Structure 1
Amino acid sequence: MEQLRAGEGETAEPSPGVMTGRRRLLVLAAASLGAVGFPGGSAAATAPPAAPAHPRCDFDVAAENALPGTASWRVTRPGAAGDIAGFTSRVSVLPGEPVDLHVSTTAAAYTVSAFRMGWYGGVRARLVWRSPVLPGAVQPPARTDAETRMAYADWQPSTRLDTTTWPEGCYLLRLDTGDGRAQRYVPLTVRSPSTAGRVVIVNSVATWQAYNRWGGADLYKGTTGKKASRSLAVSFDRPYAGGSGSGQFLVYEAPLVALAERLGLALAYTTGVDIARNPELLCGAAAVVSLGHDEYWSPEQRLHVTRARDTGTNLAVLGANCCYRRIRYEPSRLGSHRVVVCYKEDYARDPGFVSGRPPTQDFRRTPSRDPESELLGVIYDGYPVDAPYVVTHPHHWLLAGTGARLGESIPHLVGVEYDRVHTAYPTPRPIEILSHSPVVCKGRRSHANSAYLTLPGGAGVFATGTMRWVEALDAGQPGAGAHHGLDAQAGAFTRTVTENVLRAFAEGPAGLTRPAADNVPAHYPASPAAAPPAA
């Protein structure tokens, strides 16, 4: 994992008189967007929106997964650096839209195989398309922007992909050198034309880029290995260095995609970039699923998710450290939204901030303070930890079928980052704490919490409180390995709870049928009690 974070886990206590919450969210969004409309109501709406006028989406997940899969999708020969690598000109396309593939290879020839990721009887992928043999060429080395230390690949397109026959979903394109020496992935989302009535799986592509060190720098470290040389912006115009080219997809997202597709639910697929770009994208969605590591959000993405939540769309946060960093998208020569800008503590140097845009730093920090807890119910509390997950509400409907007992401890499930309920920050109520796991983070004692929140508009919000949740879904499965000591107990528990979440959230606003019963004072006695529900 690329989790090298000097100084992470620090928290800043709320300050009296600082504007927080939904008002701040709308001010930030207005500053970055201008006014936008969202069919179905405003952030203060109390009823789910009417069915939006979106294209009908007839994609059948169960029928797709009944097609024969292939177990040969994995990269087994990563080769040496520079043997082959690539990136797409767009992070996502609608089915049938073309996308350019930029490839550099030392081989004379290569092929491209498009694997749609899912369940497929447990083999996890289906070969949707394979190219003919294509001529290889070495493209220029990484270039670096002098102002932001942003690494990027100034490569020419190598081939154009026609996605006409590709069903919507999460894809890994695999590049194979003609001599069999090397393989590499290139991720691509074939996004859904409509999310209405569906559970929306969101690929966290901005976070993948934040940790991408291709070209020598990411948002954490630069070419000197020090924080001072880190990038202030990162580009989608380059391959992913980690995950054999897949970024963070295989660890933090693929296990959830497999589980959700195995359940045969009505699913939709998109990215955080697409949610930011399209204020109507989430209209009528049954639920939005944030996956294992979803740290970097633009104000536009946050606004659109908040509006969906407040008009009845459920939200499942299956990780930790979600919606922590505020970013801005800028264009590259390949198109809009190709650069992720995040100056962090150097925000005052950001030309965008100087010109009046929101600061590209942590949402919770001043200026423009807007802690993520107002959206999620929980707030990021620290890194790194490795601790047992302790069950404190075993009879809750979300834990049905787990067999969990009061005080049951699941080794290593809390890590490497964690969230908690912290009512010193804006925290919607009522909220139920389902786990209360003691942690020690850099000598500081605290707790990690899984929590369930319900909103006046009917939405339910579930947050796991741990970044290891999605990778734990595979624990104890054949060939899954033993990541961080996660075992069969962790796998069985997380799979059962996740199935409960997805099935309930797919039915519509969960708060209408499964309202939360606030229990925060039982775990944090100094916290104020929840206000009574409105009459």
Structure 2
Amino acid sequence: MAGEPETGQAPEEAPEPPTVLRGAGNCANNHDAPAHAEAPQPPTTSSGAALYQFAAPPRGANDHNEPAPEELPAPPPPGTPTPRWQSGALAHAVSDPFALGPLPWLRGSETYFEDGRIIPWYADPHTPRVPPPRDKTFPTGAPRSADDVHRQIKGFTSPGAVTPGEALDFHITVDPPQQFTVDVYRIGHYNGEGAAKITTSPRLSGIVQPPPLAADRTVSCHHWWLSWRLQVPAYWNVGAYVAVLTTLDGYRSHIPFTVRDNRPADLLLLLPDVTWQAYNLYPEDGSTGASLYHAWDDEGRLLGEADAATTVSFDRPYAGAGLPLHVGHAYDVIRWAERYGYDLAYADARDLHAGTVDPTRYRGLIFPGHDEYWSANMRRTTEFARDAGTSLVFLSANTMYWQVELGPSPSGAPARLLTCRKRKGPGKSLLWREIDRPEQQLLGIQYAGRVPAPRPMIVRNAHHWLWEATGAHEGDEIEHLVAGEADRYFPRTTLPEHEERVLLAHSPYDDARGTRRHQETSLYRAPSGALVFASGTFAWSPALDRPGHVDARIQRATANLLDRICKRD
């Protein structure tokens, strides 16, 4: 989640509904721009001790039309501690109402992998279930989620995404020492179940690994011993996987990983593991853990961005139950796309950084979820792909906001440390818009602010082929589709070169202090012929396959887009 941008001017008034713009490539000040658009300033950052109060940084760093800051809830009285169990992920979930989604690995929710079998999270709770056969050695009750204080079972994998035929190393701590198993699931539609069990490890002997190492807020477990090596069979399908760790006494944790391949496919789906790690507060123990947003003080209080880490490590588990915040967005897209037969390849954002995938081999790249943190290599590779004719599909908001660096671990493993200084100390980690490379130059729109409560998306240019056969008409409201965070077109910010461009939604909402703002959805065609779509809202992905959030108009619009990219009849 980005801090709220600020400005020294009055908030921008909503312009007239947008129209199709053609042949206006690379214009910093298009003639359709409102004359009263405001001047921007850098976004705010969290204060040291207050959880939801943000303080603005010094002004004058750049000029990219940022909106005025929102007034957020007042901080608690001085000295009020944040409970030790309250994580950075939970703190930020208020800005992403879809965060993990209806996934039972969400802390305190229903069980998904119940007693070793898949239970759909939207199953009717009143429908009797036939109990599955049970291994009498294991408890008969549903596993309990591990936590970061007791570390009943926690783990991570290395080196990163793997290809079929390669090995994946699991580093796992178990306290108290006991046997455990690893069930591996692949995420997909699978007749509505959401995942399928692929394999199970033998019984493994668990040990208590050394405590995490911490230096300057950077927490790492790179010194943990190998617990299990999974040789990924050559016949496994590429995709998003989840390893479910279960102890003999019934505690459970999770590890997400990706099986990628550089085979030709229509679409390459890129899982935003860099942004996932930025939010990871492991360990959520009231003492050691740190993310790029939070850390703990000596009294167990949760601190803000000013005292957070500047470097975080991939060599550690994810906090809590072991799955990253925002993971639900990606899984929504995967389930829907696989259900309707799209030809998908998979990779992580770090693969884009490292060059282990060639995006020009695909008709389109899908960025399925919150993807806020980008390295220079990630951006360069994506822009090269667009200019070579590969289309780009961004299904969230607040994309490519922070520039980051990826470096090797102490053992030399590449791309295991993520650095984003956020104006702390020397270095080049800044907002992309602060180094004269605003996100809008790639996306067509860029981050505008948080949306306090879900609002309807207002359809614009309903005659466009994206809205074809959706049943949507000009000015129709798609309920609750503007949520979490929102992007919009900034008239005084440079646009990408384009052959044609259209804004497909223009949706007003009120920020936290009641100031009227708006969200927009963008599509443009680059000179290479590539299409670049940006939804401009967190709620697009959940509308594809999230129980309680599905919208047939968004499903059809997304299909229209992907079908055109894939040249499907």
TM-score relative to the length of structure 1: 0.75
Q: Distance in 2 between matches of 1:441 and 1:281?
A: 40
Compared CA separation, residues 141 and 112, structure 1 to 2 (3 A): same
Deviation at 1:318, TM superposition (A): 0.2
SS of 2:541's equivalent in the other structure is: helix
Q: What is the one-letter code of the residue matched to 2:256? A: P
Is it true that 1:229 corresponds to 2:307 in the alignment? yes
How far is 1:405 from its partner? Answer: 2.2
2:520 alignment partner in structure 1:
449
- Name the count of aligned residue pairs: 430
For the pair 1:71 / 2:118, whether they are aligned, the reply is yes
Unaligned 5+ segments in structure 1 are: 21-68, 354-358, 514-535
Quote the offset at 1:401 in angstroms: 2.6
Aligned position for 2:452: 385
1:239 is aligned to 2:239:
no
- For the residues of structure 1 that align with 2:330 and 2:353, how far apart are their CA atoms? 20
Q: What amino acid sits opposite 2:163 in the alignment? A: L
Q: Secondary structure at the match of 1:336?
A: coil
For the pair 1:291 / 2:368, whether they are aligned, the reply is: yes
Q: Deviations over 1:426-465 (max 9, x none)?
A: 1124320111000222434221011111111000011111
Aligned equivalents of 1:130, 1:333: Cα separation in 2: 32
Identity across the alignment (%): 34
SS in 2 for 1:332: coil
Aligned to 1:136: 206
Distance 1:393 1:294, change over 3 A: same
TM-score by length of 2: 0.71
Q: Tell me, in whole angstroms, the C-alpha distance in 2 between the residues paired with 1:151 and 1:378.
A: 35
Q: CA deviation at 1:197?
A: 4.4
Question: Shift of the alpha carbon at 1:410?
Answer: 2.2
Pair 315,332 (structure 1): closer, same or farther in 2 beyond 3 Å: same
Cα distance between partner residues in 1 of 2:63 and 2:160: 35
Q: Which residue of 2 aligns with 1:500?
A: 560
Shift of 1:233: 0.9
* Cα deviation, residue 76, structure 1: 5.8
- What's the counterpart of residue 266 of structure 2? 198
State the distance in 2 between where 1:249 and 1:87 align.
Answer: 18
Aligned runs of 1:91-490 on 2, under 5 Å? 91-106=160-175, 107-146=177-216, 149-153=217-221, 154-164=223-233, 165-179=235-249, 181-194=250-263, 196-215=264-283, 216-224=289-297, 225-227=302-304, 228-241=306-319, 244-248=321-325, 250-278=327-355, 281-334=358-411, 335-346=413-424, 349-350=425-426, 353=427, 359-365=428-434, 368-386=435-453, 387-428=455-496, 429=498, 430-443=500-513, 444-475=515-546, 480=547, 482=548, 487-488=549-550
Following the alignment from structure 1 to structure 2, what is the Cα–Cα distance between the partners of residues 143 and 287?
A: 40
Change in CA separation of 1:280 and 1:159 when aligned onto 2, cut-off 3 Å: closer
8 Å CA contact 2:310–2:420 kept in 1: the answer is yes
Query: CA 1:10/1:162 → structure 2, altered by over 3 Å: closer, same or farther?
Result: farther
Higher helix share: 1
Could you say which residue in structure 1 is the equivalent of 2:109?
none
- Between 1 and 2, higher relative CO (CA 8 Å, sep ≥ 6) is seen in 2
Residue identity matched to 2:293: Y
Q: Is the 8 A contact 2:351 2:357 kept in 1?
A: no
Q: CA offsets, 1:145-204, max 9 Å, x none?
A: 13xx1122231111111102432111111111122x21111011111123x442010000
Structure 2: 5+ residue runs without aligned partners? 8-38, 43-59, 65-115, 122-141, 284-288
Query: What is the DSSP-based 3-state SS (H/G/I as helix, E as strand, rest coil) of the residue aligned with 1:337?
Result: coil
User: What letter is aligned with 1:408?
Assistant: D
**1:280 CA displacement:** 6.1
